[in-house]
Amino acid sequence: MRIPFQRLALALLLACAGLSQAPSQARADAVLPPGQPLTEGLLASLVEPYLDPPEADARVELRFTSPALPLPNPAQGEGRLRILDLRHDPATGRFDGHLHARLAGGEEAVLQVSGSAVRMVEVPVPAATIRAGSPIGSADIAYEWFAAERLPAGALTDPAAFAGTEAKRTLRPGRPVRARDLQAALLVRKGETLVLAYRTATLDLQVYAKALEDGAEGSLIRVANTDTDRVVRARVVGPRQAEAGLMPLKESF
């Protein structure tokens, strides 16, 4: 005979009559020590083996709607807990089933277990405020877990996407970043003096020039020789560095 054990204070007992309780494949029981409440962590450890494992770069966070947790346990004896059955809808993340609890004295109860398995992804976020125009390095990035369904559209999940970039607008710490929030880091800024390497088949020299445009690595910008004011196009190759290759005579120095 099944006896609801109020001493365990499992207030959400099911009326067992009429319930289908065909048990799933056996999983390990959990022990509930005397006086210890049923916690979210303990219940999650029983439910997780029944769920599909997440992808390598993700994890699952269980959020229970039933029973209300933590559930008080004034029992003086040890209890054993086991999932009787569990149904899980991968499309929605929802799950529901039944938990069997038994005291050493033979008292038993069945509780409804329901909730959702939320897919969580680790997302690179600013570790601190990053001002517009500031270059972004690995030290500027931290990692936080977010529910995949709540990530903004276009949120970056690969830290490699930050390489060689700077903030296009002010980025707030702990908030996901989208591709449109970044731009290629400017290595040369309009008005700066830079070192221009000028090369032809027979000539290799370096001169100072003034940048007439902003430029990221690899971009072509106009620069003016600081001595002659001659304007040429040069490719940005580093911070305040550009290189001009073979050019028509009218564009040479």
- CATH T-level assignment (fold) for domain 187-251: SH3 type barrels. (2.30.30)
One CATH from 3.10.129, 1.10.1400, 3.30.450, 1.10.730 for 6-119? 3.10.129
Residue ranges of the chain assigned to CATH 2.30.30.760: 187-251
pLDDT, tens digit (0-9, with 9 covering 90-100), for 193-224: 999 998 777 778 899 999 999 999 899 999 99
Please count the other Cβ atoms lying within 10 Å of the Cβ belonging to residue 85: 17
- Residues of the chain with pLDDT below 70 are 1-27, 246-253
Q: Per DSSP, which regions of the chain are E strands?
A: 30-32, 58-66, 79-88, 94-103, 108-126, 141-147, 165-167, 182-184, 186-188, 193-199, 204-211, 215-216, 220-225, 231-238, 241-244
Residue ranges of the chain assigned to CATH 3.10.129: 6-119
Measuring CA to CA, how many Å separate 21 from each of 15, 80, 93, 97?
12, 18, 21, 9
